[in-house]
Amino acid sequence: MFLDRDGVVNRAVVRKGRPFPPDDLASLEVLPGAKQALADLRDAGYLNVIVTNQPDVRTGKQKRAVVDRMHAALRASLDIDAIEACFHVDADDCECRKPRPGMLLTAACRLDIDLAASFLVGDRWRDIAAGQAVGCHAFFIDYGYDERRPEPPFEIVASLAAAAERILGGGFSIRQRSVGS
């Protein structure tokens, strides 16, 4: 399971119709149902990997230490196996910034993940495009942001919990291998 962070696992801060990450650890709020969804996915044999663009570090709007504390808090309280973060902006032309699939490829290599047997849950076009680029089945949480929409194919869901329910009860025959299996 590849998961965007802000808007999928934790609440995004929406300003003028656009989503942003929380400003500090105190503002980090796990979305309703996310904790149980991650536990259920893990119990079913999936690895839960957050893949997140965090360009505010590069632009100086956020300190890397704050992002690291948020990630540590998420790992301590949720069934998260890995977190891949890109701190670049589009102008850096890196391979890791979504919509490019670099973070997914890195995690797949490091954790022995079969990308064709994987899913991605995101709330922005960049997330969906990154998952599509590596052959993941993509789930789109449509909050109606004032920005570009993803290109099909993707499946619309209301939340991470809804995506987990669809995966676990929807007849998907593919299952993610756990580390060491």
Helix axes 125-133, 102-111, angle to 10 degrees: 50
4 annotated active-site: yes
The catalytically annotated residue of 4, 56, 79, 127 is 4
The catalytically annotated residue of 6, 79, 123, 127 is 6
Q: Alpha carbon 127 to chain centroid distance?
A: 7
23 annotated active-site: no
Element (H, E) at 125: helix 125-133
Tell me which amino acid residue 16 is.
K
The string of DSSP letters for 22-57 reads -SSGGG--BPTTHHHHHHHHHHTT---EEEEE-THH
Active site residues: 4, 6
